[in-house]
Structures are given as C-alpha cells and as structure tokens.
Amino acid sequence: MTQDYPKPIAPPPEVIGEWWIAWDALDESGRPRLEDFIAARAAQWGADQELEACCEWLDREGWSGESRQLRAARRPKPPSLKEQALEGLTRIESTNDFFSNQMKDLATIRRALEQLDD
C-alpha cells in the first residue's frame, strides 16, 4: 500500500527541460553554471508548490481570505514602473542633495514617462 503523504515535491521533466532551454539561451559570458541555475529554479519551484498547497488547504477549510493574504505576503508583486517613478519623484522633492541617489530616480521617472501615450 502506497502512502499519499507527504507528496514528493519534484519538478516534472518537461519543466526541467524548459529551465535547460532558458539557461542555454543566456549569454555565455554571464550565465551561471547549469547546476546553480537549475538548483535555484528548483528551489523556487518547490517553494511555489508548497505555497499553493497551503493556500489550497486554507481555501478548503473556508479561509480563502487568509489564503489570498498569505499568497500576497509570500509572493508580493514588484511595484509598477509608475509606482517606482512616483516614489523617486517624492525622494527628489524631499531633499536638497540632488546628486546623491536622484540620478537613479530620474532614470526610472524617464522610463515611466517614455511609456506613457502622448
């Protein structure tokens, strides 16, 4: 008799194949060793699988709001370019030392503005 739990957390071969293709497409001068690349991807994949299993359990137990909060806390979305630009503008406006980190902020603001329609 086989036991269903704990379920193995191992990526399927087709996912590993996708990672190999992604690694192979990287510029040779800057790409990590294949083992390091695959290990990092596998760790993230396993963590994502575990998070999804926890969220599914919370949903089944009637804690769907908590599962959304858990997912948002553990996999936060990066700020949008607009949000980054507004944060940079706020930093520039709040300091007299224009040249310390503000050039980076100005570059972000420029990228955001260039994406806006006229």
Least confident of 17-26, 39-48, 104-113: 104-113
56 domain-assigned = yes
Is residue 94's pLDDT more than 90?
no
Residues 20, 38 contacting (CB under 8 angstroms) = yes
Identify the sign of the CA torsion 28, 32, 38, 43: negative
Does 85 lie in the same domain as 62?
no
Residues 57, 70 contacting (CB under 8 angstroms) = no
69 domain-assigned = yes
What is the chain's mean pLDDT, rounded? 86
Q: How confident is the model at residue 112 (pLDDT cuts 50, 70, 90)?
A: confident
Domain that holds residue 20: 13-74
Does 58 lie in the same domain as 17?
yes
Does 50 lie in the same domain as 17?
yes
Higher pLDDT, 4 or 31: 31
Does 98 lie in the same domain as 49?
no
Does 26 lie in the same domain as 50?
yes
5 domain-assigned = no
Does 70 lie in the same domain as 17?
yes
Q: What is the mean pLDDT of residues 52-60?
A: 95
Domain count, the chain: 2
Does 68 lie in the same domain as 97?
no
